Amino acid sequence: MSSTTAADVIVIGAGIIGAACAQSLAARGLRVLVLDAGLHGATAAGMGHLLVLDDNPAELALSQYSLQRWRELAPRLPEACAYRSNGTLWLAANAEEMAVAEHKFNVLQAQGVTCELVAGRAVRQREPALREGLEGGLLINDDGILYAPATAGWMLETTGIDQRRARVSAVEGNRVRLDSGQWLSAEAVVLANGIQAVDLCPELPIEPKKGHLLITDRYPGTVTHTLVELGYVTSAHNASGPSTACNIQPRPTGQLFIGASRQFGTTDPAVEGWMLARMLKRATEYMPDLANLNGIRAWTGFRAASPDGLPLVGRHPQQDGLWLAVGHEGLGVTTAPATADLLSAQLFDETPPLAACPYLPDRFLGALAHA
């Protein structure tokens, strides 16, 4: 079982997380080998929504820092990455949700996030396609969107990164076995392959959360901001059964992405008509004229969900040389730069730019068993 030293670091997974980690490590002068099985994970399937979320302080810290990093990267991103800072408009359907908006506003403003409360009719002045009678909304100005597959591709073009299409069948600390039987080793191995991570590390508490998405034909000018219902926080985020929430995102092409759905306990990638319909119905409840638009494609993807909704970023406490960057659920694109910074800092034994503790794998895997 001799293994070949393949690089300084081997990254498993060429999605947005693996790509961001590889870019960060390569920028520090390391030789990085990125292995990807070509399965097209969450990066290929997702919406590419860059948003600040504040379900808990750790999520807010991670997403806020990461959004700042995206804004710094933005001038360098090629046009194919389709980066836009179009803002998220959270929609309140009733007084209860408006209270949530106000609370959110206070929390975010206190943290220095640029945002504004939009009351009553002003919502339709911002987005005329919305139905009448919404209670109001919260506009988070600096949220954005991008096309994640192209962005991951751009990151992987960084000097010092080699890419190989290969499926990894086993990981042992700083060594990986390819499907071909060949063993490769490096100073460190970074596991960044989303829901597939449990195939290599069954001890990881990661569950696939299925989502559906639909994209419409091009209808430029219909929507400006990414529209998300505030019910998202309660109905979709925390429910255990299948759930849907209105999530409408205008693409730079003039197309609209329509989400979102969540289902546990399935790994079947088929588009399920009933789920698609429930999701679309929710969206039409907020934007009735959607019903007359043509949907051109629907697909599904799987978010890698951890029990507390936060990613696992840091060393594997029981496997020396193995580092984790998994479990980002629906926030992988948003938090990719932050994840990369957190991981690099830990690998280089530096003080990370934000407290690493809430995201350490130890919280699920137990204390460090190696030096």
Partner 1 sequence: MNEHANLLIIGAGPAGLSAALAAAPRAKRIVLLDDNPLPGGQIWRDGPQAKVPGQARRLREQVLACANVHWHSSTRVIANPAPNTLLLENAERGWQIDYDCVILCTGARELLLPFPGWTLPGVTGAGGLQALIKAGLPVRDQGIVIAGSGPLLLASAATAKSNGARVLRIAEQASPAAIASFAAQLPRWPHKLLQSISLFDRQYRSASHVLAALGRDRLEGVRLKQNGKVVEIACDRLACGFGLIPNIQLAQALGCAVERQAVAVDSWQATSQPCVYAAGECTGFGGSERALVEGAIAGHAAVGNRQAAQRLWHRRARWQGFANALNTAFALDPALKSLADSDTLVCRCEDVPYAALTGHSDWRQAKLASRCGMGACQGRICGAATEHLFGWQPSAPRPPFSPARIDTLLCLEHTRDA
Partner 2 sequence: MPDLTLDGRPLHVAAGTSVAAALALGGDGCSRTSVSGQRRAPLCGMGICQECRVSIDGRRRLACQTLCRDGMQVETRP
Residues at the interface with partner 2 (CB under 8 A): 217-218, 253, 292-294
Stretch that binds partner 1, among 97-105, 137-145, 210-218, 302-310 (CB under 8 A): 210-218
Query: 280: burial class by Cβ within 10 Å (0-12, 13-18, 19+)?
Result: buried
Select from partner 1, partner 2, none the partner in contact with residue 362, using the beta carbon and a kind-dependent cut-off of 5 to 8 Å.
none
CB of 296 to partner 2, least distance (A): 9
CB of 253 to partner 2, least distance (A): 7
Q: Is the peptide bond before 260 cis (omega within 30 degrees of 0)?
A: yes
CA 19 to each of CA 11, 34, 116, 238, 363: distance values in angstroms, whole numbers, following the listed order: 8, 8, 33, 29, 25
Q: Contact between 267 and partner 1 (CB under 8 A)?
A: no
Q: Which of 214, 313, 331, 365 binds partner 1 (CB under 8 A)?
A: 214
Q: What angle do CA 179, 181, 185 make, to 5 degrees?
A: 95
CB of 147 to partner 2, least distance (A): 14
CB of 159 to partner 1, least distance (A): 19
Q: Contact between 77 and partner 1 (CB under 8 A)?
A: no
Residue with tokens 């520090």, as numbered in its chain: 28
What's the one-letter identity of residue 39?
A: L
CA 332 to each of CA 79, 317, 335: distance values in angstroms, whole numbers, following the listed order: 21, 22, 5
CB of 241 to partner 1, least distance (A): 12
Q: What distance in Å separates the CA atoms of residue 333 and residue 340, rounded to the nearest whole number?
A: 11
Nearer to partner 1, 298 or 355 (CB): 298
What separation, in Å, do the N-terminal and C-terminal C-alpha atoms of the chain show? 24
Q: Which of 284, 345, 358, 368 binds partner 1 (CB under 8 A)?
A: 284
* CB-CB contact of 364 with 312 (8 Å): yes
Q: Contact between 342 and partner 1 (CB under 8 A)?
A: no
Could you count the other beta carbons within 10 Å of the beta carbon of residue 101?
22
Q: What distance in Å separates the CA atoms of residue 15 and residue 18, rounded to the nearest whole number?
A: 5
Taking the C-alpha atoms of 80, 115, 139 and 69 in order, what is their torsion angle to the nearest 10 degrees? 20
Select from partner 2, partner 1, none the partner in contact with residue 199, using the beta carbon and a kind-dependent cut-off of 5 to 8 Å.
none
Residue with tokens 């693996």, as numbered in its chain: 18
Q: Which run of H or E residues covers position 169?
A: strand 168-172
Pick the closest to residue 66 from 321, 351, 343 (CA basis). Answer: 343
CB of 242 to partner 1, least distance (A): 9
Q: Contact between 149 and partner 1 (CB under 8 A)?
A: yes
Q: List the interface residues with partner 1, window 156-175 (CB under 8 A).
A: 165
Q: What distance in Å separates the CA atoms of residue 91 and residue 243, rounded to the nearest whole number?
A: 17
Stretch that binds partner 1, among 3-11, 224-232, 280-288, 310-318 (CB under 8 A): 280-288
CB of 294 to partner 1, least distance (A): 4
What's the one-letter identity of residue 340?
A: A
Select from partner 2, partner 1, none the partner in contact with residue 119, using the beta carbon and a kind-dependent cut-off of 5 to 8 Å.
none
Stretch that binds partner 1, among 135-143, 190-198, 292-300, 360-368 (CB under 8 A): 292-300
Select from partner 2, partner 1, none the partner in contact with residue 290, using the beta carbon and a kind-dependent cut-off of 5 to 8 Å.
partner 1
CB of 348 to partner 1, least distance (A): 32
Chain contacts with partner 1 (rule: CB under 8 A):
38, 40, 44, 149-150, 153, 165, 214-217, 258, 270-278, 280-281, 283-284, 290-299
